[in-house]
Structure 1
């Protein structure tokens, strides 16, 4: 055979290998090894751990009377998450997704248990802060593994649907966690949750630790189109560090989203501690927490399905429409919240003061503010991810954008929770929150105008 014929044969063989289709397993094994089943299982892992963490944060003060310890622990959690997320991709490449998920879940039961320790020994506040740092490191591992799996398992046409499955299940974790807190504290007259609530949440997080062991080895997974899954390998931390500068140089417009990223979780400190934690008794805080996370599920679906995926309109029009809706929500909700905030201070709403109950006549208006904040939160996060996706389809570039998002988001959270722990005036924290979310949307407008196009162009793809 001539050299030319050998080259043709090699190319033909390579093409066959690239197009090789595998038969999916049948019966029960086919169901268990189905990509949807495995993505839902990953969602359950995050349901039981980060979801329960969110529900505990949403109680205000972590369910305690004094919010200082909880605020310090949450600030530490997000600070370590922002730092270690930069290195978690390299760890993931060595350990793999299943082991990363398992190790990542281990910090959350420890964090919940620290609150039980605080109830028993009031001087154990430092232990809560330390477990906040540990859970932040674990969170970096969980979110890295989660992102790898939900991007690797679907086919190209299924990515949006699979992500939707995951986020719905994940947010249900916060809903269930807040339901447990509400049910166990319905008849409570105290201003903090008892050990029974923490034990209930602890059991859920311990279930989350076990769940990763039931995941199928990603290398054995076959997609619905018959192609084998090749789990995503994250760049080394050195390559990732270099990619940050390359992304900024090739697509500097992303800088205009940084304020939006920074503000995306900044408002949690005011909403959970300085509004929900300051004004309401424990059973009402639990109910507020429940309706907040429930409204998130609907908010994401409404903005995503009825605005951002509305195919009858051009993509640029949808981008401007979505931006306008979020801006209107921001100014309407924060104006409403301002009229509440100006009626109380840290001094007037001390931890021992009489708190509002769900049966009080003024409560219905206050709970609607929580519902609207939940809708705004989910619409904000969905819009941020959609804008990044509209800028490129290149996975490497989107991974860098997502890294920017998590870094600035966690940094903003850490700063806000620390300001609350330092007992800065409620109004100061509220105004800084309002300014940041408004600035985030204003800075995003030039990017929407210039950078979002009806179709992603080839020049925008590669990193």
Structure 2
């Protein structure tokens, strides 16, 4: 006969029938949570697509319309973005992702609006402002993607987001090309339309739900951001109560973590490549074709993001990052060869049609670069999400700090470096990035 203590320790639901009911309920709940998270990611991706359908052509046209001033204001923008990444995790943690997304969106609308009537002071001021707002926007986005995902779904979710987001290159560039070439709109009217479009995502952000994250099966290492005497109290604090000092400290500590150190070349490449994609490369094409060529870049970026995100968990990040590296090298080498006329001239009926084939090569190069960009974006987010699921704000803060610092530096030297020098730096860095990424990915097996 059992005593009173034994009876108290006996589970109330211990028969097989009740266990099956609990398992079924748990499985159904898990499927529902997964579907809800996916819906939120779709909303997030579509909102970013709309916002950047207005911002991306604005950014691309900077170096074409404003020339050197465009390069300098973009350098200021990414410098501001870089510095602001030390503050943005605190703001996201304090106000929540939804409010942070709205704040960031408003800053983009102000920046686009400053191009309606261009003055040097207004462009510089709005560049600083959008750098601050952009850091908040992207930190909130990265935090949400990580919170909406598990280790098994982080690759697919990242791919889904970037597939939706990168269609902005198609919509924005074809739209701007049509408005400029066909409709013949002035710059002031063009940017007024873009500013109105950039405000639309605010409505979508209001429909985002709080992240529903199932329990992570594996034990995840976390980053200590408190001193020894305050460790015990840390567990009792909610994320919203973290001070700016602690958030800043968590970012600094992350820089000392081995996987982050190994990923720094990849983050630098990610930043410098943005300067090449949206600054150097578009300036080679010309106003008439730039929208169409960059829309091909966006199409392959979006499509590849979806496919590579799905393949990330199945075939591994190492293989995908290697393929992306090769794609980047082939694309940049093709662009430099055709630009310097060292490619074989094609002729039809003894007539040289080099100009047409030059544009064709730009289309092929942009497709290869779009694929490469998708590979690095999806695999970097995927790896960071696996390594630091409980430190999303800090991890994204580090990512965006290094990336935007590299972008700012590249926009400063961009006007003075030759095409060969830009490509040489980019290709050397992508090879180093690939090697170090492979070593960093090994740490994902130990978490």
Q: TM-score scaled to structure 1, two decimals?
A: 0.73
Does residue 365 (structure 1) correspond to residue 361 (structure 2)? The answer is yes
Change (3 A) 1:456 1:417: same
Change (3 A) 1:222 1:329: closer
Which residue is 1:91 aligned to? 91
Greater alpha carbon shift after TM alignment, 286-295 vs 374-383: 374-383
Contact 2:54 2:172 in 1 (8 A): yes
**Where do residues 12-91 of structure 1 align in structure 2 (5 Å cutoff)?**
34-59=36-61, 61=63, 64-91=64-91
Contact 1:323 1:445 in 2 (8 A): no
CA distance in 1, matches of 2:62, 2:405: 20
SS of alignment partner, residue 66 of structure 2: coil
Change (3 A) 1:304 1:358: farther
From 445, 455, 459, give the equivalent of 2:435: 445
Which residue is 2:332 aligned to? 334
Which residue is 2:235 aligned to? none
Residue segments in structure 1 that go unaligned for 5+ positions in a row = 13-18, 25-29, 119-123, 226-230, 345-356
- Cα deviation for residue 44 of structure 1 reads 2.8
Offset from partner CA, 1:418-439 (integer Å, 9 cap, x none): 223xx31433xx4244324423
Does residue 173 (structure 1) correspond to residue 168 (structure 2)? The answer is yes
From 121, 128, 137, give the equivalent of 1:142: 137
From 424, 428, 436, give the equivalent of 2:416: 424
CA distance in 2, matches of 1:401, 1:84: 14
- Cα deviation for residue 242 of structure 1 reads 3.1
Greater alpha carbon shift after TM alignment, 193-202 vs 372-381: 193-202
Does residue 243 (structure 1) correspond to residue 250 (structure 2)? The answer is yes
Change (3 A) 1:371 1:147: same
Q: TM-score scaled to structure 2, two decimals?
A: 0.75
Residue segments in structure 2 that go unaligned for 5+ positions in a row = 14-22, 216-237, 343-352
Which residue is 1:15 aligned to? none
- Cα deviation for residue 154 of structure 1 reads 4.7
CA distance in 2, matches of 1:446, 1:222: 33
CA distance in 2, matches of 1:301, 1:240: 32
CA distance in 2, matches of 1:259, 1:453: 16
**Where do residues 6-405 of structure 1 align in structure 2 (5 Å cutoff)?**
34-59=36-61, 61=63, 64-118=64-118, 124-154=119-149, 157-187=152-182, 194-216=187-209, 218=210, 236-249=243-256, 251-280=257-286, 282-306=287-311, 308-311=312-315, 315=316, 319=318, 321-342=319-340, 360=356, 362-388=358-384, 393-396=387-390, 400-405=394-399
CA distance in 2, matches of 1:168, 1:380: 13
Contact 1:60 1:277 in 2 (8 A): no
CA distance in 2, matches of 1:380, 1:437: 14
CA distance in 2, matches of 1:107, 1:138: 5
- Cα deviation for residue 150 of structure 1 reads 2.9
Offset from partner CA, 1:232-290 (integer Å, 9 cap, x none): 659543223333454454x425323212211213133344333322442x231111121
Contact 1:114 1:128 in 2 (8 A): yes
Change (3 A) 1:179 1:341: closer
CA distance in 2, matches of 1:414, 1:335: 23
Contact 1:274 1:426 in 2 (8 A): no
- Cα deviation for residue 211 of structure 1 reads 3.3
Greater alpha carbon shift after TM alignment, 324-333 vs 232-241: 232-241
Change (3 A) 1:269 1:188: farther
CA distance in 1, matches of 2:435, 2:44: 35
Offset from partner CA, 1:206-236 (integer Å, 9 cap, x none): 21234333444x2xx76799xxxxx965954
Which residue is 2:405 aligned to? 411
- Cα deviation for residue 362 of structure 1 reads 3.3
Contact 1:262 1:412 in 2 (8 A): yes
Offset from partner CA, 1:175-220 (integer Å, 9 cap, x none): 221121122123378xx9633332332221021234333444x2xx
